[in-house]
């Protein structure tokens, strides 16, 4: 049984699980998916890639950022039957670049990092493969808020 108490200006309510079972009648304002102020996911409303998405970690901003951007863009806009098949050169450049910085882009994760980046959703949740965390986290991590995991604009994954 829930009960309520007032201590000066502070109110304290204790609730049981049953009390909270009925759905909430609190009203929230609908979000505008095109709100320019909001943090965007990986893909912007206009279809472009959001290079500043925290989900990418530092991939687009590190020493191999340019190569990464080229490869990923090519892939994203690819209309081929096998998506990205014409982007082999870009990916090779990226891989070569990354091999020069093993500290930043751990070698054994190389294949993972490129594929993860493509298929990554906007908000890495705890349940996402630990690998992505390690590549993104170890390779280039910082604490940056990713877009909140629930915004509607969130990710269309690239593939």
Partner 1 sequence: MLTCKTVWRKLAPLARASSTVCRQNVGRAGLNNVRRPAGSPVAHMSTGPAGGGGDNRLYVLLVGAACLGGGVYAYQTVKGDKQRYQERLSEIASRPNKAAAEQPDTFIQLEAPAVPSTETQEAQISETPVSASAKESSPPAPADEVSAPSETTEPPPAAEPVVEAPTEEPAEQPAVPVVEDEPSPPSDPSPPELTEPPPAPVVESVESESTAAAESPAAETPAPQAEVVAESETPAAGTAPSPAKIPSHAPYLLIGGGTASFAAARSIRARDPGARVLIVTEESDLPYMRPPLSKELWFSDDPSVTDTLRFKQWNGKERSIYFQPPSFYISPEDLNSIENGGVAVLTGKKVMHMDVRGNKVQLEDSTEISYDKCLIATGGVPRNLQVIERAGEEVMKKTTLFRKIDDFKALDKVSRNLKSITIIGGGFLGSELACALGRRSADSGLEVIQMFPEKGNMGKVLPEYLSNWTTEKVKREGVKILSEALVKNVTHKDDKVEIQLKDGRVVKTDHIVAAVGLEPNVDLAKSAGLEVDSDFGGYRVNAELQARSNIWVAGDAACFYDIRLGRRRVEHHDHAVVSGRLAGENMTGASKPYWHQSMFWSDLGPDVGYEAIGIVDSSLPTVGVFAKATAKDTPKAATEKSGTGIRSESETEAVATSPVATSPAASPTPAPPAQQQKEDYGKGVIFYLRDKVVVGIILWNVFNRMPIARKIIKDGEEHADLNEVAKLFNIHDD
Q: Does the protein bind partner 1 through residue 29 (CB under 8 A)? A: yes
Residue 85 DSSP class: G
Minimum CB separation from partner 1 for residue 82, in Å?
27
Phi-psi group of 16: left, alpha or beta (phi > 0 → left; psi -120 to 50 → alpha; rest → beta): beta
Side-chain half-sphere exposure of 47, counting CA atoms within 13 A: 3
Q: Dump the DSSP string for 107-132.
A: GGGHHHHHHHHHH--SS--TTS-HHH
The Cα–Cα gap between 39 and 151 comes to 9
Can residue 149 be called a binding residue for partner 1 (CB under 8 A)? yes
54 neighbors 147 (Cβ within 8 angstroms): yes
Is 152 near partner 1 (CB under 8 A)?
no
Number of amino acids touching partner 1 (CB under 8 A):
65
- State yes or no: residue 84 binds partner 1 (CB under 8 A): no
Q: Give the other-Cβ count within 10 Å of 27's Cβ.
A: 6
| Of 109, 140, 155, 158, the one binding partner 1 by CB under 8 A | 140
The yes or no reply on residue 47 touching partner 1 (CB under 8 A) is no
Chain residues 96-125 in contact with partner 1, contact rule CB under 8 A? 101, 103-104, 123-125
Shortest separation between residue 131's beta carbon and partner 1, angstroms: 11
Q: Which stretch binds partner 1 (CB under 8 A): 82-90, 110-118, 137-145?
A: 137-145
Alpha carbon 101 to chain centroid, angstroms? 23
Binding site for partner 1 (CB under 8 A): 7-17, 19-20, 22-29, 31, 36-39, 51-52, 54-58, 60-63, 65-66, 69, 101, 103-104, 123-127, 130, 133-134, 136-138, 140-146, 148-151
């Amino acid at each position: 049984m829930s009960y309520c108490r007032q201590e000066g200006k502070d109110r304290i309510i204790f609730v049981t699980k049953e009390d909270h079972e009925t759905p909430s009648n609190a009203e929230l304002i609908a979000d505008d998916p095109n709100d320019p102020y909001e943090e965007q996911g990986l893909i912007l409303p206009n279809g472009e890639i959001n290079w500043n998405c925290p989900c990418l970690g530092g991939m687009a901003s590190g020493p191999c950022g340019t190569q990464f951007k080229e490869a990923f863009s090519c892939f994203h806009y690819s209309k081929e039957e096998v998506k990205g098949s014409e982007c082999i050169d870009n990916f090779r450049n990226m891989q070569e670049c990354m091999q020069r910085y093993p500290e930043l882009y751990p070698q054994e994760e190389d294949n993972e990092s490129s594929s993860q980046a493509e298929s990554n959703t906007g908000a890495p949740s705890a349940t996402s493969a630990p690998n992505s965390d390690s590549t993104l986290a170890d390779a280039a991590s910082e604490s940056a808020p990713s877009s909140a995991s629930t915004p509607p604009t969130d990710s269309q994954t690239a593939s």
